[in-house]
Amino acid sequence: MINTVAIMSPGDMGHSVGLELKNHGIDVITCLDGRSERTKLLASQGGFRVVETFDEMVVEADLLLSIMVPSNAKQFAIQVSKSIESTNSNLIFVDCNAISPENSKNISEIITKVGGKYVDGGIIGNSPANGDVPRFYVSGPFGDSVLMLDGKGIQVKLIGNEIGQASGIKMCYAALTKGTNTLQVALLILAEKMGLLDELVEEFSSSQSNVLNSMEKSIRRLPANAHRWIGEMQEIAATFEDFGMTSDFHKGAEKIYTLLNESQFGDETPETIDPDRTSFQTIKMISKNL
């Protein structure tokens, strides 16, 4: 039985998933030691029960969902493994981060060698706070342990018994979605630099209206998330290389997210995005500073 779920960390996705689980009768906990004021506020909004230490969190939780930027995933697993070892916990550790299958296998070794149980995971979809029901793909020998959370504000899809399958599908999916976003940003900035943005948008409106609508909805929100997606592009590039394919697409995508992160909008969070600024205004303003 899964009665208590720990979530690290309660960011945009984590806090809203936690709120959904709590509303479905799950005791949701986290540790906020050293966390930012924004994270503490989101944990409060999510109704999380806060524990003081990692040891406490590991002992109390039946299952832990690691939801954070990819670059922090391994170090966090190391921290948790120390608590598992020192407390002799039987924790189920679910890495839900956008990491390569190879990286997931490495983290699995960190957790299992101290007696923990590891589940490879990958999240596809927006946070419940945006009205979505995200899909949590899971795989590995203990993947079925996460199925008890299915229908509690999230969808859980078990896709196999091997570590790397769930993270692999996330890599492929994000390679398209977040990779396409960077191509759109790049070509729109190029058009603006050539003084052709308005004309290009007019052409898209007649011949690529679905693509144009997607760009209008998504691009203004990209800078607020770019710091997270730089590492995600690195993980995707590594996955392509691991399977003998070019990594150049997503090394380029990494550069675009770096550009967005370093732009005048890079300090935004999902909560502070200007609702009145359009995507094409965003492109024009970034282009001016290049």
Taking alpha carbons only, the member of 93, 244, 80, 108 closest to residue 164 is 108
Q: Which pLDDT score, from 0 to 100, does residue 193 have?
A: 98
Is there a single domain that holds both residue 183 and residue 268? yes
Q: Which pLDDT score, from 0 to 100, does residue 130 have?
A: 84
Q: By the 8 A CB rule, do 93 and 67 touch?
A: no
User: How many domains does the chain divide into?
Assistant: 2
Is there a single domain that holds both residue 89 and residue 111? yes
d(CA 130, CA 215): 18
Q: Which two tokens stand for residue 269?
A: 């969070």
Is there a single domain that holds both residue 261 and residue 177? yes
Q: Which pLDDT score, from 0 to 100, does residue 290 have?
A: 87
Is there a single domain that holds both residue 116 and residue 25? yes
Query: Residue 18 pLDDT > 90, yes or no?
Result: yes
Last residue of a domain, one of 162, 178, 196: 162
Q: Which pLDDT score, from 0 to 100, does residue 148 have?
A: 97
Is there a single domain that holds both residue 208 and residue 119? no
* Exposure b/e, 104-141, CB count within 10 A at least 16 = b: bbebbebbbebebbbbbbbbbeebbbeeeebbbbbbbe
pLDDT tens column, 232-271: 999 999 999 999 999 999 999 999 999 999 999 999 999 8
Higher pLDDT, 12 or 73: 73
Q: By the 8 A CB rule, do 66 and 93 touch?
A: yes
Is there a single domain that holds both residue 142 and residue 208? no
Is there a single domain that holds both residue 179 and residue 201? yes
CATH code where residue 50 lies: 3.40.50.720
Average pLDDT over residues 169-196: 98
Last residue of a domain, one of 162, 192, 219: 162
Residue 33: pLDDT band (50, 70, 90) is: confident
Is there a single domain that holds both residue 280 and residue 219? yes
Q: Which pLDDT score, from 0 to 100, does residue 35 have?
A: 86
Is there a single domain that holds both residue 152 and residue 182? no
Taking alpha carbons only, the member of 7, 219, 202 closest to residue 93 is 7
Is there a single domain that holds both residue 13 and residue 157? yes
Share the mean pLDDT of the chain: 96
Last residue of a domain, one of 145, 162, 179: 162
Q: What residues make up the domain containing 259?
A: 168-288
Bridge partners of 30, per DSSP, are: 50
d(CA 228, CA 231): 6
The answer to whether the bond into 9 is cis (omega within 30° of 0) is yes
Q: Which pLDDT score, from 0 to 100, does residue 210 have?
A: 97
Q: Which pLDDT score, from 0 to 100, does residue 123 have?
A: 98
CATH code where residue 192 lies: 1.10.1040
Residue 213: pLDDT band (50, 70, 90) is: very high
Taking alpha carbons only, the member of 184, 153, 195 closest to residue 288 is 195
Q: Which pLDDT score, from 0 to 100, does residue 176 have?
A: 98
Is there a single domain that holds both residue 223 and residue 134? no
pLDDT tens column, 96-149: 999 999 999 999 999 999 999 999 999 999 999 888 999 999 999 999 999 999
Is there a single domain that holds both residue 219 and residue 140? no
